[in-house]
Chains A and B, each alone.
Chain A
Amino acid sequence: MAKNEMLPGTLGMLILRVLQPGALHGYAIAQRIHQLSNELLQVEEGSLYPALQRMLLKGWVLGDWGVSETNRKVRFYRLTTAGRRQLQSEMNDFDRVLTGIQAVLEKA
């Protein structure tokens, strides 16, 4: 895994997580993940937009038109109820897997 790349399968969870406090537009999502990860994680445009399309299709997020801080008309993505449920279940799964991995790493 190269530097700044995401653990496979976790991008969706991170996107859902940063949207939990409130709606964000695409660039803000990438920025937020970058900042919160202490600039460790970088979300590429090529992964962000396919992921967002999948979420729209699954009905986890909805896009609403809004105005950005740079005064551009842009879509803000917000979580739906189904999205919240999905986030919760993904976080639970992730915790379980992480606990498992840590246990192996410590005891082996």
Chain B
Amino acid sequence: MSEFFRRIYFLLNRQRLERELAHDMAVHREMMASEGRKDFGNPTLLREQSQEVWGWGWLERLAQDVRYGLRILRKNAGFTLVAILALGLGIGANTALFSVVYGVLLKPLPYADGNQLVILHQAFQKSGQNKMGFSVPELQDYRHQARSLSQVEEYHQMSFILLDGHEPSQVRTGVVSAHFFDLLGIKPYLGRLFTDADETRSSDPVLVLSYGYWKKHYGGDPNIVGRHFRMNDKVHTVIGVLPPVPQYPRENDVYMPTVACPFRSDPMMQSDRNMHMMYAFARLRPGQSLHSGNADLAVVASVFQRQYPESYPAARGFTSSMTGLRQQLTRDVRPMLLILLGTACLVLLIACANVANLALARMMRRETELAVRAALGASRGRLVRQLLTESTMLSLAGGVFGLLLASNALDLLVRFVARYTTRAAEVSISTPVLLFTLVVSVVTGLVFGSVPAFSQRLNLVNSLKEGSASATFRIDGNRLRNLLAMGQVAISFVLLIGAGLMIRSFIRLQQVDPGYKGENVLTVSVPLNFSKYKNDKDTLNFFVELEQKLKGAPGVVGMAEYSGAPLAGRGLAQPSNAPFIIENRPVDPQGAQPTVNVEYASSEAFRLLGVPLISGRYFTDHDNENAPEVLIVSQSFAKHYFPNEDPVGKRIAGSDKKWSTIVGVVGDIKQFSLDRDAVDTAYVPSTQPGGMMADTLLIRTAGDPWNYVSQVRKAVYSIDPEQPITDVGTLDELRNESLTATRLTSILLALFAALALAIAATGLSGVTALLVSQRTREIGIRLALGAQRSEVLRMVVQQSMRVIVLGLAAGIICALLASRLMTALLFRTASTDPITYVAVALILLFVALVASYIPARRVTRVNPMIALRSE
């Protein structure tokens, strides 16, 4: 038995051992006495000294402090409740945000050696093509040439039509090379994942389901493996189910090997290195870093340029690079999460200052008690420990309360974060989060506890003599309390500014003119089965038939086809950036090649959307496959490329070198996002080559667009019962949806700011109330000497005003410095926006004044006679 276990044994058998020791010592004294000696000391002290050797004294004292603290806290139920509430809100906010930060930003990816996983990027930097994807030959070259990479796998996404079940449905499909999941180190949850055998031309079509899709649509059926799914024109066999892992770049329903994708299998796709379509995932060799990997890719890029100058013209500035998969997964959410966590920290700081202030005020009333304890022999350290024990008990209780709050709020937060990253599903209150909460709680307790514990000199003699707080303590204490109240005002101001700037951004964003009139426009995507509708003609015929069925139906005001509803796709949609040349305009071999976003629109589309015609004409039904090819361009396109002339009548051509004539210029549409400038766009008529891209139906209705959905669905099924409709919504909803992230961030920041303001306001009230009660006697004298009550009231309010104004000044300085961190989240709003600052300052002043005026009014009720007799 080692000493450690013996110590534990002593602790567990403490009572018996104490009795035995006391007995031994008693016998000892008897024996001394029988020999006539009486020189033994204080028996209790001696026994305690002996027991001290066991090493459990601190525990005994802690238990004592806790028992005593509990009694004190129970006696001051009001203070205890307010403190737990304030600390709980602060700790809860931090716990919730930390659990998100941990799950999304800090936790390693749930893949094997996640830190070695990278995403490759290729770009033509000089022509602004930053996200261009990889072609099949390029992927092969990377496999052979990039020495820093041990494995390169490909991914692209498709939509297939699943024909089982009650209604045909669209499934989001990830198309991956055979060892894609091996690269990530993912083991199947059920069945197996892909092998080389699945990737040969002759192999049977197979399918792997994502965990979420399997759970949601098949109820987690354990017998799913071996089931057959009819998708497009083939029957696929389910071979496995993925475990719940985050997916990038999006969550897919199912995965297929590359041979299953008809586009990817096209011989041209296999051989043409300009068909940039795939994502490239790779694994760094052991010992390689992002830095050395990027250097390696730069070498590969220069080899490409030398070998294939036609594919990578020097003028377009070809580059190749990589980023870590983890960074890539969380890139969009990081700045916002950090700002929210910072905000939550500030809320906790305010709560700390507030509770410290309450505790300080309470200390005054406890001075006598502490003095008595000190007089009876308690050391100063012991008293400090007692106070810190009490504050830590409070903050631990606050932590428990906060944990409850956090676990309730977490769901909401996760849904919010899921808009930005597929890692959101990994967020939970895990062991590290619990540890974080514990540490934060204890530190909080020590921080706010040490303010009252160390703030005073415990001038015990005076306290005993006067039976009340000493004068010096009052002055010191007041100064400290005012400082704490000032700090609360300052931090609230910073938080209010954050919320204010965000709200202002949101309003600005809401006021942005999208360039079209979206009221009562229903949008329905009809992703035609590409195995059945193989060309533009098939597609056109389908939509002509659909229009015939729906046109003239009551309530249908207008119909058009378009290549994608504006602001759809939750900000994930990207402009197509097609390179083009302008007729009779020399191409600058050194300059960047111009690119344009291409959309496809039927003749009615612009009229239906209310997009104004600037010059030329709209499309007509005569712009068909037999007529010369025409284009309509956006206003921004016209301004960029034809600044001083009318583009109507000019011709441009894409990479296929086929000339199209510009016949009209229309107003700009915010196709991808409200917060960026409209992209230069060229519109191709849906009746000419490429028109099969126009597969989104826009229907302007007389009433609520949602009333027409079933009608549209019926019409589609009557033409092709195996054709699903997807992405049903209205243009107004899409626009609102695109604002959701900003709206939610504003709401969260506003919530934190309101919380901070409320805490700070109660803090100010408390300070003023204390001030009044301390000065009751003085106020009584003033009144007795003839001062007006209003004058006295003004005097008290003025004193609080000083605290408020100084706090406000400090807050303005801090906010000017801190709000710069928010720039990335703001839209057309300077981080120093004067209107926000003035408005927030006024709100804060008003709330602070009310908060201090209410307790200050008590001076008007002071009765001079009673006040003079008190104390």
Contact = CB atoms under 8 A, between A and B. Distances in A.
A71 to B, nearest CB: 11
A70 B32 CA distance: 12
Contact of A74 (B10, B24, B50): B24
Dominant SS at the A interface?
helix
Interface of chain B, main secondary structure:
helix
Contact of A53 (B3, B21, B41): B21
A68 B27 contact: yes
Interface in A30-89: 30, 44-46, 49-50, 52-54, 56-59, 63, 68, 70, 72-75
Contacts of A58: 3
Interface in B49-98: 49-55
A58 B53 CA distance: 11
A57 B34 contact: no
A59 B7 CA distance: 11
B51 A53 contact: yes
A49 B52 contact: no
Q: Chain A CB within 10 Å — which of B7, B21, B23 has the most? A: B21
Nearest to B7: A57
Contacts of A25: 24, 27
A94 interface: no
Contacts of A44: 41
B49 A50 contact: yes
A45 B3 contact: no
Interface in B1-40: 1, 3, 6-7, 10, 20-21, 23-25, 27-32, 34, 40
Given A45-B40, A57-B10, A72-B27, A27 B32 contact: yes
B1 A59 contact: yes
Given A27-B31, A54-B53, A75-B20, A49 B3 contact: no
A53 B50 contact: yes
Nearest to A77: B24
A50 B24 contact: no
Nearest to A69: B31
A75 B24 CA distance: 7
B1 A49 contact: no
Residue from A49, A72, A75 with most neighbouring chain B CB atoms (10 Å) = A49
B818 interface: no
| Chain A, interface residues (CB within 8 Å), range | 20 to 34
A73 B7 CA distance: 26
Given A45-B46, A59-B1, A75-B24, A50 B31 contact: no
B46 A26 contact: no
A59 B3 contact: yes
A49 B50 contact: yes
Nearest to B50: A49
A54 B51 CA distance: 9
A84 B285 CA distance: 61
Contacts of A72: 27, 30
Contacts of A68: 27, 31
Nearest to A30: B28
Contacts of A70: 30-31, 34
From B23, B30, B31, B52, name the one whose CB has the most chain A CB atoms within 10 angstroms.
Answer: B31
A25 B30 CA distance: 13
Contacts of A52: 50
Nearest to B40: A45
A45 B6 CA distance: 24
B217 to A, nearest CB: 66
A50 B57 CA distance: 13
A50 B30 contact: no
Given A26-B27, A27-B31, A57 B46 contact: no
Interface string B429-452: 000000000000000000000000
A26 B31 CA distance: 10
A59 B5 CA distance: 11
Nearest to B1: A59
A57 B27 contact: no
B524 to A, nearest CB: 82
B28 A27 contact: yes
A46 B41 contact: yes
Contacts of B1: 59
A30 B32 CA distance: 10
Pick from A50, A52, A63, A73 the residue with the most CB of B within 10 Å: A50
B24 A45 contact: no
Contact of B46 (A27, A49, A59, A73): A49
A25 B20 CA distance: 13
Given A57-B3, A58-B3, A59-B1, A50 B52 contact: yes
Contacts of B27: 25-27, 68, 72, 74
B474 to A, nearest CB: 44
A21 to B, nearest CB: 20
Given A57-B7, A59-B1, A26 B51 contact: no
Nearest to A28: B31
A24 to B, nearest CB: 12
Contacts of B24: 25-26, 49, 74-75
Given A50-B52, A52-B50, A75-B23, 16 more contacts: A25-B27, A27-B28, A44-B41, A45-B28, A45-B41, A49-B21, A49-B50, A50-B49, A53-B21, A53-B53, A53-B54, A54-B53, A57-B53, A68-B27, A72-B27, A75-B24
Name the 3 nearest CB pairs between A and B, nearest first: A53-B53, A49-B50, A27-B31
24 contacts: A25-B24, A26-B28, A30-B28, A45-B25, A45-B28, A45-B40, A46-B49, A49-B46, A49-B47, A49-B49, A50-B49, A50-B52, A50-B53, A52-B50, A57-B3, A57-B55, A59-B1, A59-B3, A68-B27, A72-B27, A72-B30, A73-B23, A74-B27, A75-B20
Interface of B: 1, 3, 6-7, 10, 20-21, 23-25, 27-32, 34, 40-41, 46-47, 49-55
